[in-house]
Amino acid sequence: MKNKILIANRGEIAVRIIRAAKELGYETVAVYSVADQQSLHVKLADEAVCIGGNKSKESYLNMNNILSAAISTGCNAIHPGYGFLAENSEFVEMVERCNIAFIGPSSKSISLIGDKSAARSLAKANGIPIVEGSDGVISDAQEGLKIAKKIGYPVMIKASSGGGGRGISIVRSDEEFLSAFERTAMEAETSFGDASLYIERFIESPKHIEIQIIADAKGNYVHMFERDCSMQRRNQKMIEEAPSTILNELLRRKIGMAAIKLAKAIHYVNAGTLEFLVDSKGSFYFIEMNTRIQVEHPVTEAITGLDIVKEQIKIAYGKELSFKQRDVKVNGHAIECRINAEDAMHGFMPTPGKITNILFPGGMGVRIDTHIYPGYEVPPFYDSLLAKLIVHAPTRREAIKKMRIALEQFVIEGISTNIEYQYLIMHNPDFIKGQYDTGFIARFNTLVEAENNE
């Protein structure tokens, strides 16, 4: 029987996975919503199945329809991509029960560490530093208020099931606390179907440093170094790079070892990412684990020369990792810019609509992962990511130069994007020096807005 993979996702990541599967000689099945009928992943896969209406709930979150599609097309594996059902342990359990390989960790691992509050307890029990905060989820607003007082303001209220930067609020005083708590609980309920919240001390101007790990079912664990994802807008990543400019060898080793320790503690198999905040004194704190492929994985692929998605697939089919820790070496520097359908120069309004023309940049060390093409209509129903532009060069300085030229030569007509905004950041003196933290974009926006108002 031929190996056949259903890709339970859309957009650039579905395209990325189809390519990896094809390289391995596996067949692919795409699923799509009505709005995505003309999407590239549908055209590139060997087969495609419509799984429902435009709303994610009706299609990409529709577990029964996705499983039916997998069974009726004879798939023996499902790759979930990121977002949607990627970290849903109920879905993964259903996949397992159907005797289909899930290209990701077991439902058990996900239920152990997928909940962000539970992940904190697990890290703590394994001696990995976490941000000071609540023990577990908070039962009600009054209890939360007491904990916030004890930690001292500012604090962050965070959804246990949160992701993609949503379900997070910063609170600066007792007066703000109760209403922020109610608001965040409501947002968490509507976005994630789970209102549980926990609290963390707000770390001022930290760096977001994450460790890519990968493990096979034979007990081999490897970390693939860090990514610096501190360039964020509203807790959502916009630019990622590797290696980080702020880690020395000792700190790099310490965080890498912490990541492996936690992954081993839950017998994690497949690719995963452990996210940490690093403060100005160089102390690091675990914040969460993403039990899936991440948007920014190409940055790691660029500096290591290893294909993470192909490894993910092979691992799910029971193969051993094709490399050992000693084989993973950092070569040069990589930067990724997320190109989004949003009018970044005017408040980041989403800009769905028809793309009339595109010119992609290219050349040595330039990679584009995307699902867009001339004539493609960006639907208003899903996230705004249009393309990921990744550059790789011997040094950070050269990577920045390459990125500037690539952005300059990247033309998307018909809708507004954030290409010009990314271009501005690539010229910012603090970014060039590597001196930026998670507060950079908020400060930068104040400048852009001031200029717009002149």
Interaction between residue 295 and ligand ADP (CB under 6 A): yes
Say if residues 277 and 203 touch (Cβ distance below 8 Å).
yes
For 331, counting Cβ atoms within 10 Å of its Cβ (0-12 exposed, 13-18 middle, 19+ buried), the class is exposed
Q: Which of residues 123-142 bind ligand ADP (CB under 6 A)?
A: 131
Beta carbon nearer to ligand ADP, 134 or 294: 294
Query: Of these, 162, 243, 256, 365, which contacts ligand ADP (CB under 6 A)?
Result: 162
416: which residues sit within 8 A by CB, 6+ positions away? 341, 342, 343, 344, 345, 346, 351
Binds 168: which of ligand ADP, Mg ion, none (CB < 5-8 Å by kind): ligand ADP
Longest dimension (CA), the chain: 66
Q: Is 233 in the site for ligand ADP (CB under 6 A)?
A: no
Alpha-carbon distances, residue 366 vs 88, 131, 299, 336, 404 (angstroms): 34, 37, 11, 10, 11
Residue nearest to Mg ion (CB): 275
- Rounded Cα–Cα distance for residues 69 and 79 (Å): 13
Give per-residue burial for 88-122: e unless 16+ CB within 10 Å, then b: bbebbbbbeeeebbbbbbbbebbbbbbbbbbbbeb
**Interaction between residue 212 and ligand ADP (CB under 6 A):** no
Least separation, in Å, of the C-beta of 155 and ligand ADP?
Answer: 8
Nearest residue (CB) to Mg ion, 65 versus 236: 236
Q: Which of 120, 227, 233, 292 is flagged as catalytic?
A: 292
Q: Should residue 294 be labelled a site residue for ligand ADP when binding is judged by CB under 6 A?
A: yes
Residue 9 in the binding site for ligand ADP (CB under 6 A): no
CA–CA separation, 255 and 275 (whole Å)? 10
What is the helix (H) or strand (E) element at residue 446, kind and residue range? helix 440-453
Instruction: In whole angstroms, give the CA distance from residue 443 to residue 399.
Output: 24
Tell me how far, at minimum, the Cβ of 275 lies from Mg ion, in Å: 5
Residue 49 interacting entry, from Mg ion, ligand ADP, none, C-beta within 5 to 8 Å by type: none
Angle, CA of 181, 187 and 192, to the nearest 5°: 120
Sheet of 270-278: strands edge to edge?
Answer: 284-290, 270-278, 207-215, 221-233, 236-242, 333-340, 385-393, 366-370
Q: Which stretch binds ligand ADP (CB under 6 A): 52-60, 81-89, 144-152, 355-363?
A: 81-89
Contact of 290 with 214, CB cutoff 8 Å: no
* Residue located via tokens 């408040």: 347
Q: By CB under 6 A, name the one of 275, 307, 342, 369 that touches ligand ADP.
A: 275
DSSP 242: E
# chain residues binding ligand ADP, by CB under 6 A: 32
Give the binding site for Mg ion (CB under 5 A): 275
Binder to ligand ADP among 20, 259, 274, 287 (CB under 6 A)?
A: 287
Would you say 276 or 410 has its CB closer to ligand ADP? Answer: 276
Query: Of 344-403, which residues contact ligand ADP (CB under 6 A)?
Result: 383
Q: Under a CB-based contact definition with an 8 Å cutoff, are residues 95 and 106 in contact?
A: no
Closest separation between CB of residue 30 and Mg ion, Å?
27
Strands (E), 8-83: 27-33, 47-52, 77-79
Residue 115 binds ligand ADP (CB under 6 A): no
Confirm or reject binding of residue 82 to ligand ADP (CB under 6 A): yes
Please report how close the Cβ of residue 66 comes to Mg ion at its closest, in angstroms. 24
Based on the residue annotation, tell me whether 172 is a catalytic residue of this protein: no
Q: Which of 52, 104, 105, 163 binds ligand ADP (CB under 6 A)?
A: 163
Which residues sit at the interface with ligand ADP, rule CB under 6 A? Answer: 82-83, 87, 131, 156, 158, 161-165, 168, 192, 200, 202-203, 206, 208, 232, 235-237, 275, 277, 287-288, 290, 294-296, 383, 438
Catalytic machinery residues = 292
